[in-house]
Amino acid sequence: MNAETMSSKHGLAAGLVPTRADWTIDQGWEHYSAQEHATWKTLFERQSRLLPGRACDEFVQGMRDLPIAADAIPDFRRLNDVLMQRTGWQVVAVPGLVPDEVFFEHLANRRFPSGHFIRKPHELDYLEEPDVFHDVFGHVPMLMNPAIADYIQAYGQGGLRAQKLGVLDKLARVYWYTVEFGLVQQKDGLRIYGAGIASSASETVFALDDASPNRVRFDLPRVMRTRYRIDDFQETYFVINHLDELLSLANIDFAPLYAQVQHQPEYAPGQVLPDDVVLTRGTGMYHDARRGG
């Protein structure tokens, strides 16, 4: 699929969206409709009610410092004025999912690709591809934090290497269980830092409050071996003790670890291992019911 077919998928006539080699497009902020801004407002207000006491301190702080509000879909130019100053990151608009190597190349250069479109009102809780609410509300506040800023850049650089080594699936799991679905232990309890959780009302509650999922201490080789779900809530969430842990992850040479885990068996998403440091042993009820068990 190329950028043109992707953008036409979102209702834009192919050809109206200029296609660049790096897959970026203009956000076209002026072209959002009142309806689209209203969808943003609905999502923003829902998450703003849920996140106090659930999102980590750094997320809350990042959100506070950014020009992100309920009234309108943020203008990337205004976001970038603040974000660039703080951590040297910028947000660039893309029409949807972009090829892995394009994605990594952006991250390695401290550019975060964000979908420019917003989900339709009748599918507020369903996302086929990351939209502007997931990318901006979920990811951008964390990019204001220096540890996350360096970690995601290192992921981009590591992604290009992992691809050449044929071990991208292992690295993608680390991204998934940290940047997208990570939890962090803070002084008042478990908190969300993963964008996939922070941008989803139902998963915000499920990840922290539900008895069903496992909550297990993060361990790098263990996570590399753990498959994940893209179609539903996670069965296991991995917990770090401090965001600075990600900084040390950014400096680890993954190559010897790939060699080590490459021929070891994989773990199922809900599997709990004898060596796990288990914070919550989930009941598994939610996914069992869905499997008809």
- Radius of gyration over every alpha carbon of the chain, rounded to an integer in angstroms: 19
Closer to ligand HBI by Cβ: residue 98 or 118: 98
Cβ atoms 64, 138 nearer than 8 A: no
Closer to Fe ion by Cβ: residue 50 or 152: 152
User: How far apart, in whole angstroms, are the C-alpha atoms of residue 130 and residue 232?
Assistant: 15
Q: How far is CA 200 from the centre of its chain?
A: 11
Under rule CB under 6 A, residue 97 binds ligand HBI: yes
Under rule CB under 6 A, residue 100 binds ligand HBI: yes
| Contacts with Fe ion, residue ranges (CB under 5 A) | 195
Under rule CB under 6 A, residue 22 binds ligand HBI: no
Q: Which residue is nearest to ligand HBI (CB)?
A: 103
User: How far apart, in whole angstroms, are the C-alpha atoms of residue 244 and residue 237?
Assistant: 18
Under rule CB under 6 A, residue 172 binds ligand HBI: yes
127: left (phi over 0), alpha (psi -120 to 50) or beta: beta
Q: Which residue is nearest to Fe ion (CB)?
A: 195
148 token code pair:
């996350």
- Helix, strand, or coil (residue 9): helix
Closer to Fe ion by Cβ: residue 56 or 261: 56
Q: Which residues are catalytic?
A: 134, 139, 180, 199
Percent of residues in the chain assigned helix, strand, coil, to nearest 5: 50, 10, 40
CB of 175 to ligand HBI, least distance (A): 5
Contacts of 131 (CB under 8 A, 6+ apart): 115, 117, 118, 119
Mark residues 141-160: x for contact with ligand HBI by CB under 6 A, - for none. Answer: --------------------
Binding partner selected for residue 177 from ligand HBI, Fe ion, none, CB under the kind-specific 5 to 8 Å limit: none
CB of 168 to ligand HBI, least distance (A): 6
User: How far apart, in whole angstroms, are the C-alpha atoms of residue 65 and residue 79?
Assistant: 10
CB of 96 to ligand HBI, least distance (A): 6
To the nearest 10 degrees (0 to 180), the angle between helices 146-165 and 100-108 is 140
CB burial readout 177-192, b (16+ within 10 A) else e: bbbbbbbbbeeeebbb
Binding partner selected for residue 95 from ligand HBI, Fe ion, none, CB under the kind-specific 5 to 8 Å limit: none
CB of 194 to Fe ion, least distance (A): 9
Under rule CB under 6 A, residue 113 binds ligand HBI: yes
> Binding residues for ligand HBI, how many (CB under 6 A)?
9
Among 175, 206, 237, 267, binds ligand HBI (CB under 6 A): 175
Binding partner selected for residue 92 from Fe ion, ligand HBI, none, CB under the kind-specific 5 to 8 Å limit: none
CB of 103 to ligand HBI, least distance (A): 4
Query: Residues in the site for ligand HBI, rule: CB under 6 A?
Result: 94, 97-98, 100, 103, 113, 130, 172, 175
